[in-house]
Amino acid sequence: MREPLYDGHGRRISDLRVSVTDRCNFRCQYCMPAEGLPWLQRDEVLSFEEIERLVRLLAEMGITDLRLTGGEPLVRREFPKLAGMLARIEGLEDISLTTNGYLLERDAAALVEAGIQRVNVSIDSLQRDRFFQMTRRDSLPQVLRGLEALGRHPEVHPIKVNAVAMRGFTEQEALPFAEFARSTAYQVRFIEFMPLDGDHNWSPDAVLTGDELRRIIHAVHPLEERPREPSATARVFRFLDGGGEIGFINPVSEPFCDDCNRIRLTAEGKLRTCLFSVGETDLREPLRSGASDSEIELIVRDAVWRKELKHRVNEPGFRQPARTMSAIGG
């Protein structure tokens, strides 16, 4: 083992988000333009072996939680094979996946066999026409079948359903999602719309806050907040009558930066210390030019030491990152 990884604000870094591809089969309004984005060339994207080497090194430095993201991770060829490679890395305690669910019906069994322990599925509406309006894909039935396929594997727990909250749209989704959370084993979580959209249409006015959604639901189904775990991104509530849980991730209205323990690796090997980082640290070039693990470790430590104190989304002078969510990794 190596020395634990700390930033310059005294926060111990233990959570890594790895984007395995920038490609996606959806075109969600809060992420991508309708015509899509220019994709990375295949040789620009880290290989399975390169991802494994970096994750192994970071695990030696105290990373315990690994989330695999994209783009849409399941469009990466042989993705379950990569998940299996990473699941065998010593020191990792939790391996999870964020997916749009489109290919889950095909891959659920292989993902479970590979060692995926938790899955978040992005679903922005439970109504087919509104799902199409948001994702620009008529795919809700297929996504729900994928969710059911995953639900047949009790070893994957919890399964969370994530919905991006956008003003003028998600108000109508609040109660249907609350009923969904009450009638199934899934935990529904609303995520505030963040300035990471490909169209750069984000404005504070477009953000439907978690508190507004909570009030809509609480008026019909009273809620009680559960204690927040350290470094948790969500405020989690249970229904007072015992029927399930619902969560609110509020990075815009209630930033949770103080105890942030996360870093991110993009599909082409750039280390980001904040979702909203303006700068990045290239790990692919040293990786491919023969750098030793100890040399890469020094690069990582230097970058992480300079990790931002907070993201400053609500402050004057905030600059939206040039990258979109699909290019950073959700």
- Angle (CA) 164-190-203 rounded to 5° is 45
What percent of the residues of the chain are helix, what percent strand, and what percent coil, each to the nearest 5? Answer: 30, 20, 50
Whole-angstrom CA distances from 172 to 125, 166, 204, 205 are 9, 10, 20, 17
Burial of 220 (0-12, 13-18, 19+ CB in 10 A): exposed
Indicate the CATH number for domain 15-328.
3.20.20.70
Per-residue pLDDT of the chain (330 residues), as tens digits, is 899 999 999 999 999 999 999 998 888 877 777 777 778 899 999 999 999 999 999 999 999 999 999 989 999 999 999 999 999 999 999 999 999 999 999 999 999 999 999 999 999 999 999 999 989 899 999 999 999 999 999 999 999 999 999 899 999 999 999 999 999 999 999 998 876 555 566 577 778 999 999 999 999 999 999 988 876 788 999 999 988 999 999 888 877 688 889 999 999 999 999 887 888 999 999 999 999 999 999 999 999 999 988 766 665 666 666 666 666 766
Q: List the domain boundaries for the chain.
A: 15-328
